[in-house]
Structure 1
């Protein structure tokens, strides 16, 4: 389970860097998107650490949904 937590935190950190870089170039829409992704992935890490796997189901399906 620790590997999964580390994975989500690494992804969140990468998304946060993207959000900051995009904000510096006045790309607000994309920065907001990556900020949202940072929050979602951080929450997934937290929920995983609390062993609330059933709470992850809706967010995992939401994240993987492609229009």
Structure 2
């Protein structure tokens, strides 16, 4: 992952389908970078991105969809 954290200019981001139309609660992910999935708040495009290893992304999404993380 070296170097990826500092340069996300090639990231093609997409907004979560669960984001609302008025711009609130928006999460964007980029799934075109090898080995990592950067996640950011779309309301803060120049803010930090959370860099998740690609191997951890699918299990995380599956857990969320399966309600495994809901209290």
Interval containing the TM-score (normalised by the shorter chain) = 0.3 to 0.5
Report the structure, 1 or 2, having the larger helix content. 1
Q: TM-score, normalised by structure 1?
A: 0.32
